């Protein structure tokens, strides 16, 4: 699944209604889906989790599109490992053992 293709498809599918609803309303809906993901993880099964993960991703993609962010370009920060310590596995916890 190519992330740029997904953003194009989601923009074509929801872009008009997202622009009509605006950024704040779209963010609110994204957060509603985050809540549904929490419930699926804590209390439901694999199929519900798959559905809620896909919904949260779709709302994140649509929110990126609405705010002028190319999510595939943004994701390149993580393409080679941790963007903070530049290592994979991440070594940030070695530098800061209080890191949760």
Residues engaged in binding a second copy (CB under 8 A): 1-4, 6, 9-10, 12-17, 21, 23, 25, 27, 29, 31, 34, 38, 41, 46, 49-51, 53-54, 56-58, 60, 63-64, 67-69, 71-83, 87-90, 93, 100
Q: Which one, 98 or 100, has the nearer CB to a second copy?
A: 100
CA distance 92 to 98: 10
Q: Please state the separation of Cα 90 from the chain's center in Å.
A: 20
Neighbours of 7 (CB within 10 A): 19
Closest distance of CB 44 from a second copy, Å: 11
Q: Which one, 75 or 98, has the nearer CB to a second copy?
A: 75
Q: What is the CA radius of gyration of the chain?
A: 16
Tokens matching residue 23: 């950024």
CA distance 18 to 57: 15
Q: Which one, 2 or 98, has the nearer CB to a second copy?
A: 2
Closest distance of CB 2 from a second copy, Å: 6
């Amino acid at each position: 699944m190519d992330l740029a293709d997904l953003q194009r498809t989601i923009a074509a599918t929801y872009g008009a209604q997202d622009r009509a609803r605006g950024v704040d309303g779209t963010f609110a809906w994204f957060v509603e889906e985050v809540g549904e993901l929490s419930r699926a993880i804590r209390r439901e099964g694999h199929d519900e989790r798959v559905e809620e993960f896909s919904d949260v991703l779709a709302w994140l993609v649509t929110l990126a599109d609405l705010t002028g962010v190319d999510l595939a370009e943004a994701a390149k920060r993580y393409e080679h490992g941790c963007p903070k310590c530049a290592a994979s596995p991440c070594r940030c916890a070695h530098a800061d053992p209080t890191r949760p």
